[in-house]
Chain A
Amino acid sequence: MFAFAGLLGILIALGGSVALVWHGTRRQAEPSSLRGAARFVLIGGGVAFLALEAALLANDFTLEYVANHHSRDTPFPFNLATGWAALEGSIVLWGLVLAVFTWGVLRRYLREPSRLGAGALAVMGAVGIFFFGLQLTVADPFRICVDAVANGCVASSPFPWAAAIAPPNGPGPNPLLQNHILMAVHPPMLYLGYVGLTVPFAYAISALALGQPGTDWLRLSRRSSLLAWTFLSIGIVLGAWWAYEVLSWGGYWAWDPVENASFMPWLIATAFLHSSLVQLRRQALQSWNFVLVITAFALTILGTFLTRSGTVASVHSFTQSAIGPVLLGFLFLVLVGSLTLFAARVPMLEPQARLETLVSREGGFLLNNLLLCVYAFVVVAGTLYPIVLEAVTGARVSVGEPFFNRLAVPLSFGLLLAMGVGPLLPWRQADPVAVADRLRLPVGIALLAGLIAAVTISRLGYVVLAVVIGTYVIAVAVTNLVERSSKSSAIRGEPLFAGVRRQLTSEPSFWAGQLSHCGVALTVIGLALAANLGLQTDVTMAPGDTVDFGGYELTYRSPFLFTEPNRRVQGATIAVADRAGNPVTELAPRANYFGADTSGITTPAVHSTWKGDLYLTLLNIDGEGILLRLNTSPGIWLLWMGGLTVGAGGIWSLSARRRTREPSLVA
């Protein structure tokens, strides 16, 4: 029954997508037909998603997807998350998110009907045809199980009326994915980001095809771009957090191809958010913005290919399936199609407004774009190089942390420096002396902070440098706010506080951007602290043993073993006391055994304070004792806080935009 409902939903959504393309490309688009088509897409995508979730909650093991990725014993929130924890389900969620964004584009269109909007809807429909088409072919989540073993499905049929043979139970989702609740949140966030980037792409293609390369497409898609970027930012941070809480190596970012897959579009989307401002204000960088948007969308497809095709081994890649070549073909089509269209329209884009000098706001944005694009290039090159090299020559190489860090660290510091100057520069042309005057205070604060950090925290070069530059960025934002507010409050004769509020509410997008800048600065400081000052050691302990580590006294109390419906848990109780022997807390690092899995998923135990985390990983446990890995991660909370602050900046900008309904962006 669920299979019928789900397939019907996919078919409706597919039909709606085809209708969108059909109506959106007509010379005289009918708003009512476009609305009907978009409604079909939304309803169809929703029905397919709900059918899959309902099948999971109802333990309907006649579906192959349920039989192979679900288990009666999995607790409730993970049941929901199973809906997107495997290949086919993740494409269903992708389709639903795409349908929601299509609906958003439609509402914008109904408010302000234009050929540009209709064309964008047609492109959304075309992308929809691809993703709903996937669900009917290589990533069909509603296949019926026709031959089962005790713990899963071994043969299936695409026809919902096939005679089903259901296994009594399934193996449950990937153990790594049912180990932490963040797993239920992080993928949808990333999807909202990935799929959201379809919207500016759709507008860009529509603008190119219609020969309307002005600023309209930027204005119409800016909100979606911002929304996508915000979700992408939050999704990336949550992914790092999940890795830290679950993967038990004390780390949060390994330049793993899958992490890179989410980082590449983020970098380009960030560049686009900045460079589109230059076009909105100065009518410059027209063609550049098209290139960025096409690149960002292509990178989301590339990322999906990398994570879903099994080309790289990772927790995100599922069983080998035919989806890899299909995604690669789609990527090729997108790139060739949109770049050809772009090339054909280049004559229309020239001549462009030239910019006067680098010492100006637009100059700052260009520097930012240069650094972000080189950054993205490094990440793409480092990720693809081993794959391409092996495919071409058969030679195998690893490209990992040392390579990325050597290039990413200087690029990041360069970006921070640009962040610390750009916001102070006026448009068109800045007076270098005046800018230098405004830099004195933040530079002084930053150097003072560096001195304090060197004396109290660490004299390590990277740490002090990160503190200086990070504080500098934050100080620039804060002093800038105070300076501007005091000026306006002096004129009006009101208290400074009122001036600050006036300033924040009158230019919310600018200050939201500054908040995101501060988030990036916090992230970099947190990274520098955790990466350079963390300690690590492995100790063997028998019950009753005590070790001194990172300012704590750790005592191994006893082992424990218990069984939950979906897993066996084996672990050790560790009493944590401070130097003086006062008890602080009790930690229980453990290994979880899901279903028939015998290797166990180690789950770290973390004690967080504002100074940093104590992080215990159980490496081995037997009758005689335990082998325990001890880590400290100083200041790591700054990393999470910073990342979420970046996202908060996006949310603030979005909500302010909503309240003021398209403010004076073009003015």
Chain B
Amino acid sequence: MPSPSRRTGSWLALALLAVAVAMVVVTAPPPAEDRAQAIGSQVRCPVCQGEAIVDSPSETARNMMDLVRARIDEGLTDQQIIDELLTSYGGSLLLNPPARGATLWLWLAPLVALGVGTAMVARRFHVAPADHLPAAAAPPVSGTLSRRWIWGAAVLVLGGAVAVATVGQFQQARPEDQSLSGVAGEDFDPDSVSNETLEAVVAANADNPAINGMRLALANRYFEEGNYQQAFGHYEIVLDNQPAPNEAANAFTRLGWMVFDGNGEADLGIELIDRGLELVPNDAFAIYLKGRIIWCGQGDADTAADLFSSVLSSTGLDAEIQDRVETDLAAAAAGEDCQ
């Protein structure tokens, strides 16, 4: 047994050493914060098995990481970037489930387990009632002492756990109005994102054939807006990337209309639409556009009227299209020029 003064001295020296270590750590320059890395470790790669996009060598994951870096350069916040990834690739990709909603229990359960476990341990040290054990077996002093120890430790452990969880919560606090969470359900809906977002996602995945559907949606949107310049390029890429027949037909039809509407090339336009119709015969929209070209570009009102009426005979027509076709049919049947 060392003397009390030596003992105090040695513990003092250890405390000093501990302070020194702590100082070295605390005064360390903050590590170069790699935001891309941090974001990338939160998001699961959609085509892999549980790997984060920062780890996965797959092409999709690398494209997503490129998107993350591009967005960081643009000055977006971490949360905005993560939300964009979740919107584009599906909400269930968040590897760190938020502590609310459906995944709240996942965070609470370990704390509950710790509490229950601590209580169970504490029970082990209860002094048994006197009628169970001879009095000498457990001196009352040591009993109370140990109980105090246990409850102290329990409070410490639980408090620490709560603190860790709380700090973690603050770190990932997010505005409440953001609807996105780790909970899926929100499948990708092109209508809800801006052209720019969609463009970025498509650009980030330029080589990925699976992105064709998204690219087509983007092109169709440009097409609706009359932005033929933009739409044209995307349709061409869609056709280069082994599209599904319906995707190809969609692209051919609209390309056909654009070469007519934009450049006045009626013959080429009809040829393109016909290629689309080979893939998906009786597509009402394609037949309607073909009729428009025949009527407006070639001046053949009769053929156009036949086509328009065949469109009207098909079922499930969009109300707006139906109105337009009916108007055009009336005009064409009357032999009027197109407008």
CB distance from A552 to the nearest CB of B (A): 20
CA distance A403 to B50 in the complex (A): 13
**B182 and A402 contacting across the interface, CB-CB below 8 Å:** no
Contact bitstring A312-350, B, C-beta under 8 A = 1, else 0: 011100000000000000000000000000000000000
**B114 and A374 contacting across the interface, CB-CB below 8 Å:** yes
Within 8 A of A (CB), among B101-138: 102-103, 105-106, 109-110, 113-114, 117-118, 120-121, 124-128, 132-133, 138
CB distance from A295 to the nearest CB of B (A): 13
**A629 and B57 contacting across the interface, CB-CB below 8 Å:** yes
Chain B: CB-nearest residue to A620:
B59
Chain B residues whose C-beta falls within 8 Å of the C-beta of A396 in the assembled complex: 92, 183-185
- Chain B residues with CB under 8 Å of chain A are 1-2, 7, 10-11, 13-14, 17-18, 20-21, 24-25, 27-29, 31, 37, 41-42, 44, 49-52, 54-57, 59, 62, 92-97, 102-103, 105-106, 109-110, 113-114, 117-118, 120-121, 124-128, 132-133, 138, 142-143, 145-146, 149-150, 153, 157, 160-161, 164, 168, 182-185
Within 8 A of B (CB), among A14-73: none
CB distance from A385 to the nearest CB of B (A): 5
Chain A residues whose C-beta falls within 8 Å of the C-beta of B183 in the assembled complex: 395-397
With A285-B124, A397-B182 already in contact, 6 other A-B pairs whose C-beta atoms are closer than 8 Å: A249-B55, A357-B146, A358-B125, A358-B150, A399-B95, A629-B57
Pick the contact of A357: B49, B142, B164 (CB < 8 A): B142
**A461 and B25 contacting across the interface, CB-CB below 8 Å:** yes
Chain B: CB-nearest residue to A453:
B21
**A451 and B145 contacting across the interface, CB-CB below 8 Å:** no
Chain A residues whose C-beta falls within 8 Å of the C-beta of B124 in the assembled complex: 284-285, 354-355, 366
CA distance A536 to B114 in the complex (A): 37
Chain B: CB-nearest residue to A432:
B149
CA distance A251 to B24 in the complex (A): 29
Chain B residues whose C-beta falls within 8 Å of the C-beta of A355 in the assembled complex: 124-125
**B21 and A450 contacting across the interface, CB-CB below 8 Å:** yes
CB distance from A86 to the nearest CB of B (A): 18
Pick the contact of B24: A370, A374, A377, A455 (CB < 8 A): A455
CB contact under 8 A between A357 and B145, given known A399-B106, A440-B14, A468-B21: yes
Within 8 A of B (CB), among A418-460: 429, 434, 437, 440, 443-444, 447-448, 450-451, 454-455, 459-460
**A389 and B102 contacting across the interface, CB-CB below 8 Å:** yes
CB distance from A513 to the nearest CB of B (A): 21
Chain A residues whose C-beta falls within 8 Å of the C-beta of B102 in the assembled complex: 389, 393, 395, 397
**A402 and B150 contacting across the interface, CB-CB below 8 Å:** no
**B57 and A617 contacting across the interface, CB-CB below 8 Å:** yes
Chain A residues whose C-beta falls within 8 Å of the C-beta of B168 in the assembled complex: 406
Pick the contact of A437: B1, B21, B109, B164 (CB < 8 A): B1
CA distance A464 to B22 in the complex (A): 9
A367 interface contact, C-beta 8 A: yes
Chain B residues whose C-beta falls within 8 Å of the C-beta of A447 in the assembled complex: 14, 17-18, 20-21
**B24 and A454 contacting across the interface, CB-CB below 8 Å:** yes
CB distance from B126 to the nearest CB of A (A): 7
CB distance from B55 to the nearest CB of A (A): 4
- Chain A residues with CB under 8 Å of chain B are 248-251, 254-257, 284-285, 313-315, 351, 354-359, 363, 366-367, 370, 373-374, 377-378, 381-382, 385, 389, 393, 395-403, 406-407, 410, 414, 429, 434, 437, 440, 443-444, 447-448, 450-451, 454-455, 459-461, 464, 468, 536, 538, 602, 617, 619-620, 629
CA distance A285 to B121 in the complex (A): 10
CB distance from A436 to the nearest CB of B (A): 8
**B17 and A381 contacting across the interface, CB-CB below 8 Å:** no
Chain B residues whose C-beta falls within 8 Å of the C-beta of A313 in the assembled complex: 49
CA distance A440 to B6 in the complex (A): 12
CA distance A629 to B21 in the complex (A): 35
CB contact under 8 A between A403 and B106, given known A256-B49, A354-B138: yes
**A538 and B62 contacting across the interface, CB-CB below 8 Å:** yes
Can you list the 6 inter-chain pairs with the closest CB atoms, starting with the nearest?
Answer: A400-B95, A459-B28, A402-B96, A357-B146, A396-B184, A396-B92
CA distance A586 to B57 in the complex (A): 22
CB distance from A198 to the nearest CB of B (A): 26
**B25 and A454 contacting across the interface, CB-CB below 8 Å:** yes
CB contact under 8 A between A351 and B96, given known A249-B56, A377-B109, A429-B142: no
CB distance from B123 to the nearest CB of A (A): 9
**A398 and B117 contacting across the interface, CB-CB below 8 Å:** no
Chain A: CB-nearest residue to B45:
A249
CA distance A255 to B49 in the complex (A): 11
CB distance from B93 to the nearest CB of A (A): 6
CB contact under 8 A between A403 and B14, given known A256-B50, A389-B102, A397-B183: no
Chain A residues whose C-beta falls within 8 Å of the C-beta of B41 in the assembled complex: 401-402
CB distance from A409 to the nearest CB of B (A): 9
Chain A: CB-nearest residue to B165:
A406
**A398 and B57 contacting across the interface, CB-CB below 8 Å:** no
**B57 and A602 contacting across the interface, CB-CB below 8 Å:** yes
Chain A residues whose C-beta falls within 8 Å of the C-beta of B1 in the assembled complex: 434, 437
CB distance from A515 to the nearest CB of B (A): 26
**B31 and A460 contacting across the interface, CB-CB below 8 Å:** yes
CB contact under 8 A between A400 and B96, given known A358-B125, A619-B62: yes
Chain B residues whose C-beta falls within 8 Å of the C-beta of A414 in the assembled complex: 157
**B49 and A315 contacting across the interface, CB-CB below 8 Å:** yes
Chain A residues whose C-beta falls within 8 Å of the C-beta of B110 in the assembled complex: 374, 377-378, 381, 407
Sample (16) of A-B pairs whose CB atoms are under 8 Å apart: A315-B49, A351-B132, A354-B125, A356-B142, A357-B149, A358-B146, A367-B153, A370-B120, A381-B109, A389-B102, A399-B95, A437-B2, A447-B17, A454-B24, A454-B28, A459-B25
CB distance from A657 to the nearest CB of B (A): 28
**A374 and B113 contacting across the interface, CB-CB below 8 Å:** yes
Instruction: Count chain B CB atoms within 10 A of each CB in A382, A385, A398 and give the residue with the most.
Output: A398
CA distance A639 to B66 in the complex (A): 31
Chain A residues whose C-beta falls within 8 Å of the C-beta of B44 in the assembled complex: 398, 400
CA distance A410 to B133 in the complex (A): 39
Chain B residues whose C-beta falls within 8 Å of the C-beta of A602 in the assembled complex: 57
CB contact under 8 A between A398 and B125, given known A356-B142, A389-B102, A447-B14: no
CB distance from A418 to the nearest CB of B (A): 11
Chain A residues whose C-beta falls within 8 Å of the C-beta of B95 in the assembled complex: 398-403
Chain A: CB-nearest residue to B20:
A451
**B93 and A398 contacting across the interface, CB-CB below 8 Å:** yes
